[in-house]
Structure 1
């Protein structure tokens, strides 16, 4: 398809939505317009059926961060990055979804380029599109669709906001009523800053802003022209869209949905099991709390919902130490063995960075569970030394020393 439908969503359902159909072959605008709110997105459904659809979202809802994370493993770096950003983000990291861009390390030594957006915001954008039956595989912060300036910043006005591209992985979408304050601060911080504007910008009251007027552009056209230069996509991981379904397949899915619903009604007779599951959950939560207190005996009060972020924070602290990357890499190799031998549970875990060795004190149902755990570790190409075992009531206690 040579034509692409570009849609720029708002932060809230009542915000205006801008759209444009762009022909890459002819390099021209086919059609463009504006919708009053997300409730009118269905007006674009037919236009999206025969075209690729790319969605822009406001840069004010996406935090673009670049940082230096120790280690060479991409997986370990991405595991640690969110918790290194906790002090720089307004929301708790557990409330944010993080998407990553594969950019080369820059001159500042930064090797991790991440975009953080609230889960509920990303889910809301996808819900609007789904309700309008618009299939979108690519979602991009509007600031990253702006061209990068050789010098200074590039800016253009769109509706009640100004979109500014400040660098390769830096930009802001600013409300018009806040533009004067932010632009004046830029001017104070950078004496020689020039803003290349592709449209008239709101006036700056406190200070003179150095503007370098460019040939006027329709905002959505400027974003459409340069969107193809950006390989980044917010829709990663759990939000990644696989493929669109044909109308025939959608019909069959609808029929299948009815069948699943009927099956669910039959399963509903087992609702009494929910009560048992709730009791089991309470018991598991209590076990989690007791295990946490054993690992961190100085803790006086703890809640289940705070354990996860605390443990992740401690993991982030480990990642910033010299042996952090080795620890996480080794831990990732050990974890599958616990999954395959669930009757054996760790009681304590220590990491010796000098020996690159994890020491585990575990509790199992019988001696055979220790043997099976050792076999799984050896199958994972790990060097395993098994310590002594002893009975503790109806359980067996033992230890392992594990090297990569």
Structure 2
């Protein structure tokens, strides 16, 4: 998708929520605004249609930790983290959700990067979005959407708070009182940190170097960052892939193909049974099978079953192209078996053009290339559409014809 809707969530449901529509291709703002509270999210549900949605979690609600965990496997490492941090956390670990980064910027000191959020707050955010009819597959802490500025810390003001990124896996969102308090601590650090700020910031009670950058809207600054180190929607909060309505169409077409195949097998099988069955019995069996598949049929003649089947296929495929549709469907099934990691999200057959249009998603770009090669080996002409990375999934499209 070339446009993305960013929604900066709020710590409390009665607080204002900012939103912005960003063009990935043009790297510019399409629209932006603010709703007064979580209930008002319904007013921007139309902006979420046909766009990827990225939710931004307030940095004040997310604790970032970089750790060195001795473990033989990733699973064992992640199981150990809550208990390693138990004494440092103010809440019981059972009340917290631990989200892990799959890959982060090179950091030789640590092998585990974790974001910690109240489990109840995660439920509340997802409930707010779902109640508004907004489907979201990606959620990122706002501090990790700030630019990395080398040795300097980046900061921007937003809704009376200051969002700060202090390093690869370090950041905070502070109110003005906390900002003033922490300045005393920062001045004691060696070396004393310096800031790059993308908006006017409150004066500090101590001398700390501040470099002014071109002013930016907070959400526009977040949207412009290509590096996304984590998706909080994982584990128990991972988004389940919904079955497309096209699956019903697929099932109907497949059922019809099975009926046609059974009829063909029945005709061929009659040669084995012909010593014990008469021609009349075989014809009656075919008629009975047809009536079982299409119970609303009142009158069936053996001489017209073939033409009637063609009409049934045409009703499903949107035209009289069954001669191309069913063989193409069989070749498509073979390709899916060869690339099981690729999943269909939409399927449409254009009977006039004898063209099958397929929307799919997978975890890697390579899956799309393997699927295209498998189709071409089946003597199909394949045109591959644009591919987009949505969090940890890749989506794309194919147009398929008989070559």
Using the size of structure 2 for normalisation, the TM-score is 0.59
Report the Cα distance in structure 2 between the residues aligned to 1:162 and 1:242, rounded to whole angstroms. Answer: 34
Report the Cα distance in structure 1 between the residues aligned to 2:58 and 2:209, rounded to whole angstroms. Answer: 25
Q: For 1:92-130, what per-residue CA distance to the aligned partner results, in whole angstroms no more than 9, with x for missing partners?
A: 111111111123696553111111111100000000001
Match of 2:161 in 1: 161
Aligned to 1:215, what secondary structure does the other structure show? coil
Match of 1:239 in 2: 237
Report the Cα distance in structure 2 between the residues aligned to 1:65 and 1:44, rounded to whole angstroms. Answer: 34
Query: How do 1:325-404 and structure 2 match up within 5 A?
Result: none
Query: How do 1:45-124 and structure 2 match up within 5 A?
Result: 45-103=45-103, 109-124=109-124
Change (3 A) 1:105 1:19: closer
Report the Cα distance in structure 2 between the residues aligned to 1:208 and 1:222, rounded to whole angstroms. Answer: 26
Report the Cα distance in structure 1 between the residues aligned to 2:7 and 2:145, rounded to whole angstroms. Answer: 12
Match of 1:40 in 2: 40
Match of 1:213 in 2: 212
Q: For 1:252-304, what per-residue CA distance to the aligned partner results, in whole angstroms no more than 9, with x for missing partners?
A: xxxxxxxxxxxxxxxxxxxxxxxxxxxxxxxxxxxxxxxxxxxxxxxxxxxxx
Gaps of 5+ in 2: 248-403
Report the Cα distance in structure 1 between the residues aligned to 2:176 and 2:123, rounded to whole angstroms. Answer: 27
Query: How do 1:276-355 and structure 2 match up within 5 A?
Result: none
Cα distance, 1:248 vs structure 2: 9.9
Query: How do 1:16-35 and structure 2 match up within 5 A?
Result: 16-35=16-35
Match of 2:228 in 1: 230
Task: Mark the structure with the bigger radius of gyration.
Answer: 2
Report the Cα distance in structure 2 between the residues aligned to 1:16 and 1:71, rounded to whole angstroms. Answer: 43
Change (3 A) 1:176 1:245: farther
* 1:62–1:117 CA contact under 8 A, matched in 2: yes
Report the Cα distance in structure 2 between the residues aligned to 1:191 and 1:13, rounded to whole angstroms. Answer: 40
Aligned to 1:86, what secondary structure does the other structure show? coil
* 1:197–1:212 CA contact under 8 A, matched in 2: yes
Report the Cα distance in structure 2 between the residues aligned to 1:109 and 1:191, rounded to whole angstroms. Answer: 19
Aligned to 1:30, what secondary structure does the other structure show? strand
Report the Cα distance in structure 1 between the residues aligned to 2:181 and 2:207, rounded to whole angstroms. Answer: 12
Gaps of 5+ in 1: 250-404
Change (3 A) 1:71 1:224: same
Using the size of structure 1 for normalisation, the TM-score is 0.58
Cα distance, 1:152 vs structure 2: 1.6
Match of 2:357 in 1: none
* 1:17–1:34 CA contact under 8 A, matched in 2: yes
Query: How do 1:168-207 and structure 2 match up within 5 A?
Result: 168-204=168-204, 206-207=205-206
Match of 1:359 in 2: none
Report the Cα distance in structure 2 between the residues aligned to 1:153 and 1:78, rounded to whole angstroms. Answer: 29
* 2:96–2:117 CA contact under 8 A, matched in 1: yes
Question: Matched residue pairs, number?
Answer: 247
Cα distance, 1:209 vs structure 2: 2.7
Higher helix share: 1
Cα distance, 1:191 vs structure 2: 4.5
Cα distance, 1:242 vs structure 2: 2.1
Change (3 A) 1:54 1:189: same
* 1:104–1:111 CA contact under 8 A, matched in 2: no
* 1:135–1:244 CA contact under 8 A, matched in 2: no
Aligned to 1:188, what secondary structure does the other structure show? coil
Alignment RMSD (CA, Å) = 1.9
* 2:103–2:229 CA contact under 8 A, matched in 1: no
* 1:184–1:209 CA contact under 8 A, matched in 2: no
